[in-house]
């Protein structure tokens, strides 16, 4: 009887230990799943929550273990997160840079450790990146410019609330400016940095409207920029303004449908960006050739 009881206790102990080990490892150790470190720009924006969901869904299908962190617009914090991934010896790193130039040394550190790096949504200017997966931001900027030009019948003054710290913001601004050269009756009279956040964008838009009372339209390179501009326009009773944003977050879409100065948005597909990032990583792990740039289509969303 004593022997049977001892065997029973031993079996329970071993089973419990195996279950605990499996929980601590994320459930992927038994299947030999790869570990992928991810540092997002932020988790506050709906866009990045959707991008993370796309990453997780695709990673689960591949049996990968994601270690997801957020840089919170802080370059130093993001550099530290990448350094931690290197120390942990992850199998790949995904970065949505807080600063496209500033992140380069951290990516180079991962390169030295032979850890493949992928960028999503925002590209890096430096370091070796296997593939950059993002919306076609040049095309998105052109779509925004075309919408404004048609809404203004080819005449008027416009402003841009940008975010030059990140390449995606620069690409949207570049696409917008390029498209506007086709409309000589429209002048871009002000380009200010809103930092991609609402409070700074509101201040930038207010300064823009104060300095240019006849301003007819504003392009915001993301929805926080556009919604900040909307608040500034409403405070000045400028219901005649035309504002176009970028991301098509639920709050922005609701504002468009409600009517008012925010007329349209360039819609991205963040879940697809996340899924295609994992697909690129899987191809790389399998020894396949991965394109240096993978673009995801965008489209205009308005009240129509």
Beta strands (DSSP E) in 73-170 are 92-95, 117-120, 131-135, 156-162
**Pair (191, 284) in one structural domain:** no
Assess whether pLDDT exceeds 50 at residue 16.
no
Residues with Cβ within 8 Å of 223's Cβ and at least 6 positions away in sequence, in order, are 45, 47, 245, 246, 247, 248, 249, 251, 252, 265
Which tokens hold the place of 201? 């964008």
Which tokens hold the place of 129? 């990146």
Distance CA 279, CA 192 (A): 37
**Pair (151, 231) in one structural domain:** yes
Assess whether pLDDT exceeds 90 at residue 10.
no
Q: Determine, yes or no, domain membership for 301.
A: no
pLDDT in tens, 193-239: 999 999 999 999 999 999 999 999 999 999 999 999 999 999 999 98
**Pair (180, 170) in one structural domain:** yes
Q: Determine, yes or no, domain membership for 171.
A: yes
**Pair (217, 101) in one structural domain:** no
Q: What percent of the chain has pLDDT over 70?
A: 89
**Pair (71, 143) in one structural domain:** no
pLDDT at 105: 98
Assess whether pLDDT exceeds 70 at residue 25.
no
**Pair (60, 176) in one structural domain:** no
pLDDT in tens, 49-94: 999 999 999 999 999 999 999 999 999 999 999 999 999 999 999 9
pLDDT at 304: 79
Beta strands (DSSP E) in 83-138 are 92-95, 117-120, 131-135
Q: 114: domain CATH number? A: 3.40.50.2300
**Pair (117, 41) in one structural domain:** yes
Distance CA 194, CA 228 (A): 9
**Pair (54, 172) in one structural domain:** no
How many domains are contained in the chain? 2
pLDDT at 20: 33
Average pLDDT, the chain: 90
pLDDT in tens, 239-269: 899 999 999 999 999 999 999 999 999 999 9
Q: Determine, yes or no, domain membership for 208.
A: yes
**Pair (182, 131) in one structural domain:** no
pLDDT in tens, 124-169: 999 999 999 999 999 999 999 999 999 999 999 999 999 999 999 9
Q: Determine, yes or no, domain membership for 141.
A: yes
Strand partners, 25: none
Q: Which domain holds residue 119?
A: 31-135+270-296
**Pair (113, 35) in one structural domain:** yes
Q: Determine, yes or no, domain membership for 8.
A: no
Q: Determine, yes or no, domain membership for 17.
A: no
Q: Determine, yes or no, domain membership for 14.
A: no
Distance CA 42, CA 139 (A): 24
Does 184 or 16 have the greater pLDDT score? 184
Q: Determine, yes or no, domain membership for 69.
A: yes
**Pair (257, 278) in one structural domain:** no
- Quickly count: other Cβ atoms within 10 Å of residue 304's Cβ: 7
Rounded to two decimals, what is the model's pTM?
A: 0.76
pLDDT at 33: 86
**Pair (186, 279) in one structural domain:** no
């Amino acid at each position: 009887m004593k022997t049977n009881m001892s065997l029973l206790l031993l079996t329970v102990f071993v089973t419990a230990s195996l279950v605990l080990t499996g929980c601590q490892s994320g459930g992927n150790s038994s299947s030999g799943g790869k570990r992928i470190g991810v540092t997002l720009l932020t988790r506050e924006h709906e866009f990045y929550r959707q991008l993370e969901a796309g990453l997780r869904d695709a990673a689960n299908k591949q049996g990968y273990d994601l270690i997801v962190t957020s840089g919170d617009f802080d370059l130093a914090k993001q550099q530290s997160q990448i350094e931690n991934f290197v120390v942990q010896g992850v199998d790949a790193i995904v970065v949505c840079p807080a600063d496209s130039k500033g992140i380069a040394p951290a990516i180079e550190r991962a390169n030295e450790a032979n850890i493949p790096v992928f960028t999503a949504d925002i590209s890096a200017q430096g370091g070796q990146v296997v593939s950059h997966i993002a919306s076609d931001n040049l095309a998105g900027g052109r779509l925004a410019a075309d919408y404004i030009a048609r809404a203004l019948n080819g005449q008027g003054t416009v402003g841009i609330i940008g975010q030059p710290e990140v390449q995606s913001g620069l690409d949207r601004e570049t696409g917008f400016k390029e498209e506007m050269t086709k409309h000589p009756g429209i002048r871009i009279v002000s380009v200010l940095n809103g930092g991609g956040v609402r409070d700074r964008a509101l201040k930038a838009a207010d300064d823009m409207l104060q300095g240019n009372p006849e301003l007819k339209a504003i392009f915001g390179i993301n929805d926080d920029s556009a919604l900040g501009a909307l608040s500034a326009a409403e405070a000045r009773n400028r219901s005649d303004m035309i504002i176009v944003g970028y991301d098509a977050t639920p709050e922005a879409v609701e504002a468009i449908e409600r009517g008012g100065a925010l007329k349209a948005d360039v819609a991205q597909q963040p879940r697809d960006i996340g899924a295609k990032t994992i697909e690129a990583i899987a191809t790389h792990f399998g020894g396949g050739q991965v394109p240096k740039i993978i673009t995801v289509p965008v489209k205009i969303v308005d009240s129509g």
